[in-house]
Amino acid sequence: MNRLMMMITGDTRLMDGEPGTDGAPPASTPAPAPTGEDKPADPAPATPAHDTTPAPAGDEPPADPLAGVTLGDNKPAEQPNAQPATPAPEINEEEYGKVAIDTDIASDVEVDQGAMKAVAPILKEAGVTPETAGKLVNALARYQVEQYKARNAERFADNKRMHDAAVQKYSKMDFAQINAGIDAAFKPGGIMNYVIRHSEIGNDPEFLELMKWYGAHHPTNTQPSGGGIGGGTTGQPAGFAGIAKSWE
């Protein structure tokens, strides 16, 4: 009985056209749908036909192709026969004290030894030799002497102008009163009397007018003072002595 049923049901499966029984290839089994954990693979990006990298902006310089590249230790090549440098000789600070002014600049001017002693450590530290220090001192001295002579030339010219004006203005009697006024106000032979008679004060028009008035009102001594040049003053001569001697 069972065999009979199996034969019947077997014939029924054949009659229903079960796939694969008629000689045709079975239909392809569709791929299962992807689950939440499995993602489909991204398709490979298409290769562009040309480089799409943006060009650098105008304010940004192009990248240095050698950036980060070490080209060695940057040390100069040693010369095979190079001689070691000779060390500079040690400078004795006392040598700076021997610096002197050249006689063609000034024959009676001496270098301030205290000033040289004060700057000697700095000169030594800076590597300035005593010879170079001497050149610096003489250059400064020459400049100062030239400026000094220029100022004194102006003083001589100004004194001569006042002297000539005083000679034209005052008579011999006026100068007698001026000399009397000087000796009455300033002790004859004293420092102030000497300074007045040996400087521009002795030609200053305001001072001469004052001494003339004083001498006229205090005629204690109308004789010229022994301290005056040439027996008194008629205005100090243009090349007067005294401080003028140091200007030579």
The per-residue pLDDT for range 177-202, each reduced to its tens digit, is 999 999 999 999 899 998 888 888 88
Helices 205-217, 130-169: inter-axial angle, 10-degree rounding: 50
Structure tokens at 121: 């450590």
Give the residue from 159, 181, 173, 184 showing the smallest Cα distance to 235.
Answer: 159
pTM equals 0.48
pLDDT for residue 54 is more than 70: no
Is the CB of residue 80 less than 8 Å from the CB of residue 116? no
Question: Residue 41's Cα: distance from chain center in Å?
Answer: 73
Which tops the pLDDT comparison, 248 or 98?
A: 98
Structure tokens at 18: 């079960």
Q: pLDDT above 70 covers what percent of the chain?
A: 52
Band of pLDDT at residue 14, cut at 50, 70 and 90: very low
